[in-house]
Structure 1
């Protein structure tokens, strides 16, 4: 007698923004539980900022989330989350998260979700694909926390595959992937790997060559490890304790917003509320 399959959650969200004489407005919206999209009232001087909410409270093995964000020419918008995403222990199947970002010519998108916490035994496959038109700008951040560190838990079992693909005008600009399985404890402890870090953070700025260079220099002046992976693409990575990594990301994002993107020097309100 076969055992019944557990019920799984498959959330979907689609967002489309366009530029109008009134500024950037939402033109397309679709969402399916457990993924919901909310729109907090923007702060003065801010563009629209959408919040992706997982109303299920977390993700288990076999669950999936698919998000697609499209910005038309010259639009300016952002996407964040109201809290950390939790990936629970999986019995067998992986949790899958897929994100597709399409940024039109001269448009600016901020992709600023809060951290993802991998519980002991979590199995996560996450992919982010971004297609940038000429003159488009993307500021993207991702954070991973390896276990429930507030409870003293460290990730030693499970798996992670986290892949990024960024294309500009149809040509590959950057590709990166992180894979963890097998001896996860050893990989996280390795001095030339994660060096015992509780968390990792990645901040990416894809913009004009002068803007990316300015972003790198701005972060370096403030003590961040930032580099130009190639002209027009700046990367900054953080490793360390979960709270210090989050604090570092929270300091770097406003610097880039004000110093490069011409936006107010502050975090999305949901990061601090």
Structure 2
């Protein structure tokens, strides 16, 4: 019979290292795929868009979720005047970790006059998950970016709340003249206490963030402030030409608030129809 060796190293679990590099360019028939590299378990699909929609790219994680030690690298490049919508096919799940971090790196590059909707569905953090996520966006003159991300602290449908683990979520936005905005969320240790703190998250199940850069920020802020309140939140202008909005509250309410904001701004700022992409509704 096999025997345990006292000095044997602990078993190493297989880890996923997904990646994709998506390159889009404007042409005589609209935006088209110029180049695509993808590495399992990440996949990029191109559902047929409605006639009045921009090219749509759907990101799919074939593994069904991300575990501790997994990594995902996402890169999107739009050439001058290209237009696209990028979303995920479903909510992303980050499972409880046995120690290692789950890493997600996203890089967006928009050429002159390019327009990108970066609107993945929510990221659900299981209790004990350890997520380190960074997003960096570079905007050329005349480019427009509408970006939205949502973090859910636990499996809300099961009544689970995140009590342990780690979250580091950083954003960096750069324009033609350098840094426009950067921000980071860092949570570790007793997450139950930190998420329950009355002057912190106040017991919120989810955090939604939306960023509009390159559009008419003041008009966009007024559009958001006129929407019915679905979750506690607010919109502000950190600098001219930049809108930041955030929501805290129940997971379902935050999703509804982010979706309503996307719907309103894509119509008012991006010239797209006032409806959500089918990925969000099917």
TM range (shorter): over 0.9
Match of 1:218 in 2: 223
Deviation of 1:3 (Å): 2.1
Q: Take 2:179 and 2:207, find their aligned partners in 1: how far apart are those partners?
A: 24
Match of 2:251 among 212, 224, 242: 242
Match of 1:233 in 2: 242
Please list the CA deviations of residues 231-251 of structure 1 after superposition, one character each: whole Å capped at 9, or x if unmatched.
011011010000000011111
Match of 2:166 in 1: 159
Where 2:259 maps in the other structure, the secondary structure is helix
Where 2:269 maps in the other structure, the secondary structure is helix
Give matches, 1:6-155, under 5 Å. Answer: 6-155=13-162
Preserved contact between residue 131 and residue 170 of structure 1 (Cα < 8 Å): no
Q: Take 2:135 and 2:190, find their aligned partners in 1: how far apart are those partners?
A: 25
TM-score by length of 2: 0.94
Match of 1:175 among 163, 171, 182: 182
Please list the CA deviations of residues 129-150 of structure 1 after superposition, one character each: whole Å capped at 9, or x if unmatched.
0000011000000000000111
Provide the alpha-carbon RMSD of the alignment: 0.9
Larger Rg: 2
- How many residue pairs are counted as aligned between the two chains? 271
Please list the CA deviations of residues 163-221 of structure 1 after superposition, one character each: whole Å capped at 9, or x if unmatched.
0000001500000000000121111111111111000100110014xx11111111112
Q: Take 2:85 and 2:105, find their aligned partners in 1: how far apart are those partners?
A: 17
Preserved contact between residue 145 and residue 198 of structure 1 (Cα < 8 Å): yes
Say which is worse superposed, 222-231 or 88-97, in terms of deviation: 222-231
Preserved contact between residue 200 and residue 238 of structure 1 (Cα < 8 Å): yes
Where 1:80 maps in the other structure, the secondary structure is strand
Match of 2:3 in 1: none
Q: Take 1:238 and 1:216, find their aligned partners in 2: how far apart are those partners?
A: 14
> Structure 1: any 5+ residue segments left out of the alignment?
none
Say which is worse superposed, 1-10 or 156-165, in terms of deviation: 1-10
Say which is worse superposed, 212-221 or 135-144, in terms of deviation: 212-221
> Structure 2: any 5+ residue segments left out of the alignment?
1-7
Say which is worse superposed, 185-194 or 196-205, in terms of deviation: 185-194
* Structure 1 runs of 4+ with >3 Å offset: none
